[in-house]
Structure 1
Amino acid sequence: MASQMMLVEEKSDVRILTLNRPKQLNALTSPMISRLLELFLSYEEDPNVKLIILKGQGRAFCAGGDVIACVNDIRRGCWRLAADFMYKEYALDYVMATYGKPQVSIMDGIVMGGGAGISVHGRFRIATENTVFAMPEAALGHFADVGASYFLSRLPGFFGEYLGLAGARLDGAEMLASGLGTHFVPSMRSKELIEDLCGSGASDAASISKIIDTYTQQPHLKESSAYHRMDVIDKCFSKNTVEEIIFALEREIAHKTDDWVSKTISSMKKASPTSLKITLRSIREGRALGIGQCLIREFRITSHVFKGDISKDLVEGCRAILTDKDNSPKWKPSRLEDVREAMVDQYFERLEDDGWQDIEFPTRPYNLHPPKISNL
């Protein structure tokens, strides 16, 4: 089954891995994650493999992890099974972030949640005119994970807080401008680029980059792009609390209509108050941590979210947005002011449950940090 969901092509010293669940927007299942982890680890040891290319079939690169499957496990009382899924996903993200060989991710189409985890941690991140990037977890009652506390916290200014809290969507040009993408290549040229990479024999980052550069274009940022609003983003999203961020945004439109600000406020007010507070603290703390530390901490938070002792917002959010689709989640607590700091603290503490352990990463041969986000 995993072999059908994950296509593998061997071309000279290049391996092309294609996520193949187009009807499900290539959402990651547990077998897909296991297969990717197995392949990446084996290729790292194989001297005949010099480069890995990761792409998606259809109109998505990858829309994230299979959240519905996780929530179904939680509903059946099997939250640990759902947490095991995330354990493997974070382990894969860590391997990619500390990988010894170049990875080229062709982000042609939707890149959300877990899809960001398996692409943004790689060395080369190619956006196209079809790219739609977002970290929409707070709207589902979760938080921006898969190492987002590392890569969002390293974006220019407070752009990462904006993406994590508002769940805002970026196009390919915005991904390139923010540094989430390293190159912009028109979708129709991606096949030609892959063929060129496979036939070049290039194995070092500089040679690969030179090949990609020949296909790269400088896309035009739309006038409506959030990237043109960095002054407002930095002014508002630098505040210490979610309440202060929303208040600062509301002051921006007190005397002047601004559709972009209004939309940002609306998105945040629809999201889970608990998720917003977790996300903000996670991104802020992530600035001072390495990728491994970020993923270990995110797994603690995820385990608490899945166990549901503090809040059951994830189950409710998935019901409202993904299954029943009434888009009217009943968050508990329903107001930001009712989410006390002590409650947020609990998510960051080690989960005390019989036999439960923090995620542990084995010593890696390449003690690397993820590639530097450009523009820093």
Structure 2
Amino acid sequence: MTDTIIAAPEGRIARLRLNRPKPIHALDQAMCTAMIAALTDWREHPEIEAVLIDHADGRGFCAGGDVRGIASSAAGDGQAARDFFRTEYQLNHLLFTYAKPTVAFMDGIVMGGGVGIALPTRYRIATERTVLAMPETTIGLFPDVGGGWYLSRLPGRIGHYLALTGARVDGAEACTLGLATHYIPSDALDGVKAAIAADPQAIETILDAAAVTPPPAAILDRQPEIDRLFASDDYEEVLTALEADPGEWAAAQRALLATKSPLSCKVSLRLLADGSGMQSFADEMRMEYAVAVHICQRPDFAEGVRALLIDKDNAPRWDPATPEAVTDHMLDTIFAPLPAAEEWEPVRL
């Protein structure tokens, strides 16, 4: 067990607390393994009636995966990167299918891998401090950890807009879009957790009583524009629509997309198109794992991490450098299933 995860029963509930505050609780493989072990063990204990997931000190729930280490592996033989993604996706799937009630307290920053451990839970609490995003196209990846499942099921084309741009949504927007189930002021969370610990059978009643009406969701005011400008699954058509629009917002989105990996953007659109038709979350995870394995063999992931987090020059040299140079053949290769012996599989219980 790692000290970056605090996993402990507390009477009739069990607590999973992310405890790596300096990188905002960024996930590494040891943390994912520890959470899987705890959740698997707690399944067999009838006295544990619910699981609460939150973070210890720090300004956010989880800023994502520890991409520095993953990218370093991807630039080498890639085995550590494959191992991380396999384990992380097993954790995502275990939470998605967990029989006991699970509650994630999404207070503060919730990005990338943090989205992957929050959205599979049954109850997802947003606050006035919640900042949720899937910014993977900035570093040459794609919105994984179930992003193809969750984002493709948002209203209209909002999910496609979020996947391409990495735009952030606040707690009110997360609640309105269904990414969160309750909007509760941050100063009420300790009381809510104590009440659930005292009576886990009353989780829904407790959360409903503590929830307040969220502020208006600004993203809904923008939805007609999003639906129109991000209507196509063809990335070049999205760019053309943005360039043709005279508005300042469209120009800002076009400028933003110019900084993203063209390959990642095309992968993201295809991921959501395929994810919208997935019949099970396990099938989604199996597809995303194959995509992750293949995309890590290309240079954009390591380059994106270098530009954003290592050298911090914010000047990635993407390969391919333009959307037009990302061919259908490249995408077909990235989305090709893995050999049977290498495919992702859920945790065997």
TM-score normalised by structure 1 residue count:
0.89
Alignment of 1:9-20 (within 5 A): 9-20=8-19
Alignment of 1:330-341 (within 5 A): 330-341=317-328
2-structure distance, mates of 1:133, 1:87:
23
State whether structure 2 residue 100 is matched by structure 1 residue 110. no
Contact 2:9-2:48 at 8 Å conserved across structures: no
Q: In angstroms, what is the RMSD of aligned CA positions?
A: 1.5
2-structure distance, mates of 1:68, 1:351:
25
Alignment of 1:148-167 (within 5 A): 148-167=147-166
> Which residue number corresponds to residue 245 of structure 2?
252
2-structure distance, mates of 1:229, 1:350:
37
> Which residue number corresponds to residue 279 of structure 1?
268
> Which residue number corresponds to residue 130 of structure 1?
129
> Which residue number corresponds to residue 293 of structure 1?
283
> Which residue number corresponds to residue 302 of structure 1?
292
Contact 2:90-2:347 at 8 Å conserved across structures: no
- Per the TM alignment, residue 351 of structure 1 is displaced from its structure 2 partner at its CA by 4.1
> Which residue number corresponds to residue 235 of structure 2?
242
> Which residue number corresponds to residue 343 of structure 2?
358
Structure 2 gaps, min length 5: none
> Which residue number corresponds to residue 54 of structure 2?
55
2-structure distance, mates of 1:81, 1:277:
25
> Which residue number corresponds to residue 252 of structure 2?
263
> Which residue number corresponds to residue 226 of structure 1?
219
Residue deviations 1:178-219, cap 9 Å, x none? 1101111111110010001111241xxxx3111101110112
> Which residue number corresponds to residue 373 of structure 1?
none
> Which residue number corresponds to residue 345 of structure 1?
332
Deviates more, 1:271-280 or 1:7-16: 7-16
Q: Please tell me the residue identity of whatever aligns with 1:65.
A: G
Q: Please tell me the residue identity of whatever aligns with 2:193.
A: I
Give the secondary structure class of the aligned counterpart of 1:217: coil
Contact 1:304-1:351 at 8 Å conserved across structures: no
Q: Please tell me the residue identity of whatever aligns with 1:208.
A: I
Q: Please tell me the residue identity of whatever aligns with 2:292.
A: T
- Per the TM alignment, residue 237 of structure 1 is displaced from its structure 2 partner at its CA by 1.7
State whether structure 2 residue 120 is matched by structure 1 residue 121. yes
2-structure distance, mates of 1:362, 1:28:
18
Q: Percent identity?
A: 36
> Which residue number corresponds to residue 367 of structure 1?
none
Contact 1:167-1:267 at 8 Å conserved across structures: no
1-structure distance, mates of 2:242, 2:10:
51
Equivalent of 1:317, from 304, 311, 321?
304
> Which residue number corresponds to residue 78 of structure 2?
79
Contact 2:103-2:122 at 8 Å conserved across structures: yes
Give the secondary structure class of the aligned counterpart of 1:54: strand
1-structure distance, mates of 2:19, 2:184:
22
Give the secondary structure class of the aligned counterpart of 2:38: helix
Give the secondary structure class of the aligned counterpart of 2:119: coil
Q: Please tell me the residue identity of whatever aligns with 1:230.
A: Q
> Which residue number corresponds to residue 209 of structure 1?
204
> Which residue number corresponds to residue 66 of structure 2?
66
Deviates more, 1:332-341 or 1:2-11: 2-11
1-structure distance, mates of 2:63, 2:125:
16
